[in-house]
Amino acid sequence: MKKIIISILALFGMFNAKAQEDTGNNKPKKLTFEEANLVSSYYKQDGNNSAVTGGIGSEHLTDISNTIDVTMVKYDKKDRKNKFDFSLGIDHYTSASSDMIDLKANSSASHSDNRVYPSINWSRENEEKGTTLMAGVAYSGEYDYQSFGANIGFAKKTPNKMGEFTAKFQAFLDQVTLIAPIELRTGNNTGGEGDDYGTTGRNTFALSLAYSQIINKDFQMEFLVDGVQQTGYLSLPFHRVYFNDNSVHQEALPDKRFKIPLGLRANYFLGDKVILRAYYRYYTDDWDLTSHTISLETPVKLSPFLSVSPFYRYYSQTAAKYFSPYQTHTAFDDYYTSNYDLSKFNSHFYGAGIRYTPKNGLFGVERLNMLEVRYGHYTKTIGMKSDIISLNLRFK
């Protein structure tokens, strides 16, 4: 851990030297460092509705996540602002439910895994015309899942610069490794190191539209709508489903799903020290799942350098038409799942963040100008609960 911290501070020192090369007000014509964020988090959950064991059994899971985001800026010959965002994330998790893919194993290979997810995003803003072009690519990989993503987008501000319309198209092309529960495997795939399970595809295409408007100096609003089409293998191969005759099957879901989320975001400034951030989202899809999300966060500035942000989110959803609990599906069902993420439930997520932005920087590094710690507690009415704590360091 000590070596990691030293390496991070050395990296920030390098950025600090680069940033000092351009200390004037001139727009940088060379690629120049603007900002970096290092985010680390620890997540832990418990519950008793594991989909791996048919809707019953431990959902205990821990996840340690580390992500670094770096933003670079360059103005071209036409005075357009080009921004490059580079991100790299690495997660390590342990999962009691995944370990039960093999019911007889004390600790199988699926007990823990690592996920790596780099991404690169670019945008070009023409400040005179009020237009922005954007594009990006991303990758996410772990033992049994690979995902390749790409996005393109366009934004246009209104003539008075008070409103902005944004359109973005995203595509994700995924490969799922077909690791079945051990008792349902065929051929030579019995859990050994040389097993070849095969893979299958899953594709997601999303069109996102947004319009933001500054109503006045204290009030801002944003409207959001998405259309999401998924095709391919939408089940998870290691999810068991137990029928009412005690037989066990692999989860089976349709190979198509269309989702429509609608959102509204509003920010209101109560003087110089308090901000009210509210959000509402309605969601529906063709699996008959609908949901409502309401959240409120209230950053309060306690001093010029210290602020606290309590938050609360309420979520409610109906069950998908293909869900039934343990041993309630029948042989007459064409599609079936006992994954409680598709069940009816309500949830609450609440906590707070503390942000510190000292005038002279952190740890003697002037440009290391922000430290934020956030904690949240999550509960579902079906018995699952979780906690997450995160740390964010910003270098600018």
pLDDT of residue 66: 98
pLDDT in tens, 315-332: 999 999 999 999 999 999
Return d(Cα 71, Cα 76) in angstroms, integer: 16
* 100 has a pLDDT exceeding 50: yes
Sign of CA dihedral 181, 184, 186, 190: positive
* 2 has a pLDDT exceeding 50: no
Amino acid at 246: N
Mean pLDDT (the chain) is 90
What letter does residue 152 receive in the DSSP assignment?
Answer: E
pLDDT in tens, 170-193: 999 999 999 999 889 876 655 555
- In sequence order, the 6+-apart residues with CB closer than 8 A to the CB of 380 are 47, 345, 346, 347
Domain residue ranges of the chain, discontinuous segments joined by +: 2-395
**Range with the lowest mean pLDDT among 59-68, 209-218, 254-263, 362-371?**
362-371
CATH 2.40.160.40 fits 2-395, yes or no: yes
Q: What mean pLDDT do residues 330-353 have?
A: 97
Return d(Cα 90, Cα 346) in angstroms, integer: 30
Token pair of 383 as six digits = 């018995």
Token pair of 223 as six digits = 């409207």
pLDDT of residue 5: 40
pLDDT of residue 185: 85
Return d(Cα 228, Cα 276) in angstroms, integer: 30
Q: What mean pLDDT do residues 67-82 have?
A: 95
Place of tokens 């340690």: 64
pLDDT in tens, 116-163: 999 999 999 999 999 999 999 999 999 899 999 999 999 999 999 999
Cross-strand partners of 388: 43, 376
Other CB atoms within a 10 A radius of the CB of residue 154 amount to 13
- Three-class DSSP category at 79: coil
pLDDT of residue 11: 47
